[in-house]
Amino acid sequence: MQIRPGLHRIQAPLGERFIAMYLLEGPAGAVLFDTGVAESVPGTLLPYLEQIGFNLSRLRWVVSSHCDFDHTGGNAALAAAAPHVEFLAGAADVAMTEDVETLIRGRYGEFADDDGFDDPAETTALVRASTALVAVDRALHGGERFDLGDRVVHVLAVPGHSPGHLALWDPRNRALVISDAVLGVTVPTAEGDPAFPPTYRDTNAYVESIAALRALDAELLLTAHYPVYEGEAVAAFLDESLGYTLRIDTVIEAALRAAAAPLTTLDVIDRTHAELGPWGEGAREYLIFPMTGNLERFVEAGSVAVGRRDGRRTWEWVR
């Protein structure tokens, strides 16, 4: 749907959830933000563009907000339909945006050795089946601009969920297009029910990104998996997301202080998940992403010490 003149939200199915892609267009061309999974391009994106009379020759840039498969998986399909397009990604995410095996090992398999947590085999198979990638033509660092003819759209570096996460700022529409840069208190299903925890990873960077986005005082906040936020709802979502990081701090500290011995990350999750969200077994273990970020922040502050037990990473409150 067209949200504002020259600003479109294109929502494609993603299992029980959805993935929203965004087209920003003007007289001098257009930029597409994310391509969803492989099926999103022929199944949703291209039919929508045909429906609104958009000629693919006008599409100049495709920006991958970050490396996750549900944002880059349609890149190859779009490249086949529009071979002239320049594909762009955040510099720190380029390797995982170009190669699905690097993505699986480096992002989804990050906790396998240290913490004993990994995606189920069927999830990994789904990632491979849903993803077809291309080489990134140019790495972005934030600060770049796209001149669409009637307005200039700015690239923002907003790490936290991933190291190279990007957002777009459309000043004319006072619109922030942020994909997964900020994740509230739960990732929802398409019906609005809790699906799994907010999977930010680097807590300090995430908090700084929220502050930077908050400072823009946007009228419109456009995410990948949440409703459209307008007016006062923009600040409310950002503030709620920041508050959740502090909530995780609180439950971690209480769990570690009460423990008679150092805890593994999965131990901490077992003892705290009921205080952090309503997710069932399987989904709640994805708390390992934000919880690890918060634990690492405690380590940097000198409050928590890292150890090893039976090959697994452990955490102990020391101050």
Q: What is the pLDDT of residues 251-272, one digit of tens each?
A: 999 999 999 999 999 999 999 9
Residue 281 has pLDDT above 90, yes or no: no
User: What is the per-residue pLDDT across 49-96, written as a single tens digit (0 to 9) for each?
Assistant: 999 999 999 999 999 999 999 999 999 999 999 999 999 999 999 999
User: What is the per-residue pLDDT across 99-142, written as a single tens digit (0 to 9) for each?
Assistant: 999 999 999 999 999 999 999 999 999 999 999 999 999 999 99
Compute the distance between CA of residue 101 and CA of residue 122 in angstroms, rounded to an integer: 15
- Which residues, 6 or more positions from 246, have their beta carbon under 8 angstroms from its beta carbon? none
Tell me the domains of the chain and their CATH numbers.
2-235 (3.60.15.10), 241-317 (1.10.10.10)
Compute the distance between CA of residue 87 and CA of residue 99 in angstroms, rounded to an integer: 14
Q: Do 268 and 315 contact (CB within 8 A), yes or no?
A: yes
| CA separation, residue 108 to residues 44, 88, 161 (Å) | 26, 22, 12
Please name which of 138, 137, 129, 180 lies closest in space to residue 159, comparing C-alpha atoms.
Answer: 180
User: What is the per-residue pLDDT across 300-312, written as a single tens digit (0 to 9) for each?
Assistant: 999 999 999 999 9
Give the CB-side neighbour count of residue 66, counting CA atoms within 13 A.
24
